[in-house]
Structures are given as structure tokens and as C-alpha cells.
Amino acid sequence: MRTTRFASATVALLLGLGSAFGAEEDFTKDVPKSADHPALKRLKDSIIVFYEKQNFAEQCIALEKVVFDYDGQKMLPFKQEIVEGPQTRILYRAPKNASTLEVLRQYQNDLKAAGFEVLFEGKGGPESMSTIDNGYGRFLENVYKNHGLPTDIYTPLSLNDDSRYAALRKSSGAGKTYVSIFAVSNTTWPNEFGGEKGQVLALVTITEQKGMADRMVKVSAAEMETSLTKSGRIALYGINFDFNKAEVKPDSGEALAEIGNLMKSDPALKVLIVGHTDSIGGFEMNKTLSQRRAEAVVSALTTSYGIAAQRLFPVGVSFAAPVESNESEEGRAKNRRVELVKIVEK
């Protein structure tokens, strides 16, 4: 669920009702259907100007400075955690006269009192002074934008060096809750968020690390055979990998077993094992990753299910064939898949 004022503003313009942010907009109130997260409070007189809640999403938790290598013209790897689970993003417009440092400290103090530990914190600024990146908004891009932050939120947040970041974590039983805070002084006025020039915007992301509920339909060997006969291909979602990894996870056994049954039922069948990824990380990196994942599936089928390697051909295509848009986590989840493509030789 995502709520902003953007949609109503667009309708107002189309209907010729004057300013999109005139009488139809009340910047003294939270956006509709939004609420504070139970894990933390808000600063007094803050307003929610953007709200997004997802059943399952990912967030990058930065644990050190993000650095671009000018000599090599590439981003250097940086220490991070990729957290997956139920997620809430809230963008607050902080009260007037609050600085980015004060906003960050207020949240930190409240969270530490609730049992959270600080994993990393830093500040933006000129390249020589920043402790989160080496300029040009690379921190916000690599930590947030590349992990699902909508463009209409990313752009206003990326236009000022006066920024602060903190990541915190709390362990409770078998689960962990991560909170990241990015506070930036608002220089784009007027904009969709109301307030005054220089007023602080605070992006708060709460991710509860836990497994995703399995909502994918298991595909039997018979169903695979039907699809291969009819359309020559079938997409499978039961073969799983950790983020940026190519080792087949143990919970993939059921899907692999059905592929094994399919191949044994038709000794003449040969297939491409095609690895597909989402677009996070760039095309070439995902090309290599998808190839390695396809090869890992072939290895599992030959080693554990006795299928001859000569019947299995691994191919990695990166994000060249999406089934949905990579702009949402739901779309990226559908794009991360393994497909079987029947080889017809005549």
C-alpha cells in the first residue's frame, strides 16, 4: 500500500481545478491511510508526506561509506546487509527549525531507549567531508534507489548535501527489526511535500527480517510437460537463492525433484535452464549472476537427481526478459525466476 498526494494533485490539474496543491491539499495533515509504525514515535509537529507499506520488500542497510573509484570508474563494494521482510517507509516533514542532526538524534535516542543498537551513522557534505559517500548523492542512490525507493521520493531527497544517516537494529527472539533514517534539508521549494525551504525531510524505513510467506503454486512434472509441449517454456519460482548469491537454497528441493521427474519421464527431452534476475546491480553483474545460478541448477539436477548433464544447458540472461516492471518489489520478485525452455532439434 502506497499513499501520497501526487495522484490527487494530478487529478486536480486534469480537471482544471487550479493549483494542484491549492484548496484540494492540506499540508497540515498526514497523507490519507498513513500511520506511525509501532516501533517508533514521531517528532512533535511532524507530518507524514509519503507512506508505503509492503508485505515483503528488501532494504539495504549500509554499514560503511559508499565510495566511487574514479580511477577504475566503478563503485567499490561496501559493507552492507540486505534485509528482507515486511516493510514500512514513511517520509516525514520535520517541524520548522529542526536541523538534520537534531532529527537524527531524536530518532536515535528514542530507538536506543527501546533496545535498538546503532550499526552505522554518518553525514553528507562536500566530497572531502562526507562520511557516507564521496559525493554526487551516491549513498542515496546505492542504498535506497537501487533497492526500491520510488523516483518521486528519491529525486527531492538527492538534491542537498546537508544529510544524515543512521541504521539501527533490535533483536527479539528469532527475529530482527531494522530501522534506517535518512534526514535531508529540503532545497526544492515549492514541491509535493509542502513546508518551507530548508525544512528537514526524514525518510524512515522499518524492515522486520523474516521469511516470506510461500504464495507460489507448486508446479508438478506433469504440468511442466504440458507447458513445454504447448508453449515450449515454463517459468518456475520454487528454486531460490539468497541475494546476490548463486547457491541453490535447501527449500528448492521440491521444485528440483519435479524437474528431475520430468526429465526421467522423457529420456529424449533436452532443455535450456535459463536464469533470470531483477535489475538491481546492473546488467553485466546480473548476467554473470544469472549464468552462475543456471549452472547451479544444472549441477543440482545432475548430482542429486541423476540427470545427464548433456541434456541440460545453462543460460543466464540477466534482466533481459522481464515479465513485470522492475520498478516495484512485487515486479522484481516475479522477474527473479528459473525457466525451462524445450530444445527442439530437427
Query: How high is the pLDDT of residue 21?
Result: 36
Cell numbers describing residue 257: 525433484
- Cα within 13 Å of Cα(286), Cβ side: 21
Query: How high is the pLDDT of residue 25?
Result: 54
Residue 69 identity (one-letter amino acid): D
| Counts for the chain of helices (H) and strands (E), in that order | 8, 13
Task: For residue range 133-168, list pLDDT tens digits in order.
Answer: 998 889 999 999 988 888 888 888 887 888 999 999
Q: What is the mean pLDDT of residues 155-182?
A: 88
Least confident of 134-138, 211-215, 269-273, 338-342: 211-215
Query: How high is the pLDDT of residue 56?
Result: 85
Task: For residue range 255-272, list pLDDT tens digits in order.
Answer: 999 999 999 999 999 999
Q: What is the mean pLDDT of residues 308-329?
A: 92
Q: What is the mean pLDDT of residues 204-226?
A: 80
Q: What is the mean pLDDT of residues 302-329?
A: 93
Are 88 and 70 in contact by the 8 Å Cβ rule? The answer is no
Which comes out higher in pLDDT, residue 152 or 239? 239
| Cross-strand partners of 168 | 118, 179
Query: How high is the pLDDT of residue 235?
Result: 93
Query: How high is the pLDDT of residue 18?
Result: 36
Q: What is the mean pLDDT of residues 175-203?
A: 83
High-pLDDT (> 90) share of the chain, %: 61
Are 295 and 314 in contact by the 8 Å Cβ rule? The answer is yes
By three-state DSSP, how is residue 79 classified? coil
Taking Cα atoms as reference points, which of 323, 324, 267, 314 lies closest to residue 291? 314
Least confident of 4-18, 78-92, 139-153, 177-191: 4-18
- Look over the chain and give the mean of its residue pLDDT values, rounded to a whole number: 86
Least confident of 9-13, 228-232, 317-321: 9-13
Burial state string for 311-331 with b = 16 or more CB within 10 A and e = fewer than 16: bbebebbbbeeeeeebeebeb
Q: Is the pLDDT of residue 219 over 50?
A: yes
> Distance between CA 94 and CA 194 in Å, rounded?
11
Are 43 and 94 in contact by the 8 Å Cβ rule? The answer is yes
Taking Cα atoms as reference points, which of 112, 89, 106 lies closest to residue 45? 106
pLDDT tier at 213 (50, 70, 90 boundaries)? low
Domain range annotation of the chain:
2-209, 221-342
C-alpha 99 chain-centroid distance: 28
Q: What is the mean pLDDT of residues 307-332?
A: 91
Least confident of 10-24, 100-114, 180-194, 315-329: 10-24
Task: For residue range 74-128, list pLDDT tens digits in order.
Answer: 999 999 998 888 999 999 999 988 999 999 999 999 999 999 999 999 999 887 8
Tell me which H or E stretch contains 219.
none
Query: How high is the pLDDT of residue 180?
Result: 97
Are 147 and 80 in contact by the 8 Å Cβ rule? The answer is no
> Distance between CA 177 and CA 42 in Å, rounded?
18
Query: What CATH code is assigned to 221-342?
Result: 3.30.1330.60
Which comes out higher in pLDDT, residue 59 or 155? 59
DSSP 68: E
Q: What is the mean pLDDT of residues 197-202?
A: 88
